[in-house]
Amino acid sequence: MEIKKKIVVPTGEIYTAIGEKGMLEFLTVGDYGKNANIKADFLGITRDLNGVPNGEPMPLTEKWVITISTQYGCSMGCKFCDVPKVGIGRNATFNDLKGEVLTAIKQHPEVKHTKRLNIHYARMGEPTWNANVLLHAISVKKDIEPFIGDSLVHPVISTMLPKRNKKLVEFLHKWCYIKNELYKGDAGLQFSINTTNDEERNYLFSGSSLSLGEISEIGKSLPMPVGRKYALNFALADDTHIDGKRLRELFNPDKFMCKITPLHRTNSCDENDLHTSGGYELFTPYKAVEEDLKDNGFDVIVFVPSYDEDNGLITCGNAILSGKVPTSSYQETIY
């Protein structure tokens, strides 16, 4: 895969490259580690997160995150995401997915092994539209073995649960088989929920996502997870509603956990006046929601990125192919 642009930001690198149908975008980043940027009482990490200071990521030999695009652009139209500005969603090919991961790995020949490689199918596109994601997750361990040996691989998909996808349930059941059986639990499945109010969800996802009742029925049909529970993601916008009692009525806390984050500061969020006020400096925006979800039986992770991570555009909802550039320090190389 031919790289066209490389942008080095404080916590990693963003690449654009020529795929089989056009331009793709992917990134490779280090992680601060769970003790730096998450609160999770069920894991014994109980202190409040009053902002996450900029810092040095762990070495890639400790944890490596590669985030790839599953589509060229996206057609979901989520109000908080810049990827639709790139264009309509066209599926990346199997060779595209393979090329993104291998190209990212080849940029770091000094890394011969890592304790954990997370592969997130989450840069551009809605992954459940693309069956190549399933094939790639099955084969990726063999692809990367010549470069990083028997490193632990942990693939993750996050889905907006598109209501027009007639093969959505089939995809999710196949992914659960990959997670639970092929990876013995070392894989992730995340549902983007954001609010327990259907009218608010309809606005945030531009009418493209299933209703909560429909998502609940899908959740009931999934097998019990091996390893970490399936995640319900909440990017917490001001004035949206998250009702723990209603969520428990819809989703089994024995099967699902919750993850709370701030909305990342994309151009689309600015244009649509969507923000998490104080969410990068104080724990206050998350406290009541976290307590309500815990009181209703859910394991809860609160994740807050640093300014370097968000300003460096490595966070979800960003895309330099949309025309945005980092507001952190960065170095750009054009090939």
Please tell me the predicted confidence (pLDDT) of residue 152.
98
Segment 243-292, tens digit of pLDDT: 999 999 999 999 999 999 999 989 999 999 999 999 888 888 899 999 99
The two three-digit tokens of residue 104, written as one number: 């990212």
Confidence of residue 36 (pLDDT cuts 50, 70, 90): confident
Q: Residue 36 in 3-state DSSP?
A: helix
Which CATH number belongs to the domain containing residue 139 in this structure?
3.20.20.70
Residue 235 dihedral angles phi and psi, to the nearest 5°? -85, 110
Beta strands 12-18; 23-29: pairing state: antiparallel
- The residues facing 156 across adjacent strands are 120, 188
The residue range of the domain holding 273 is: 2-334
Mean pLDDT of the chain: 96
pTM: 0.96
* Overall average pLDDT of the 26-30 stretch: 96
Please tell me the predicted confidence (pLDDT) of residue 84.
95
Segment 145-163, tens digit of pLDDT: 999 999 999 999 999 999 9
Cα(109)–Cα(147) distance, integer angstroms: 8
- DSSP sequence for 200-259: HHHHHTTT-BPPHHHHHHHHHHSPPPSSSPEEEEEEE-TT----HHHHHHHS-TTTEEEE
How many domains does the chain contain in total? Answer: 1
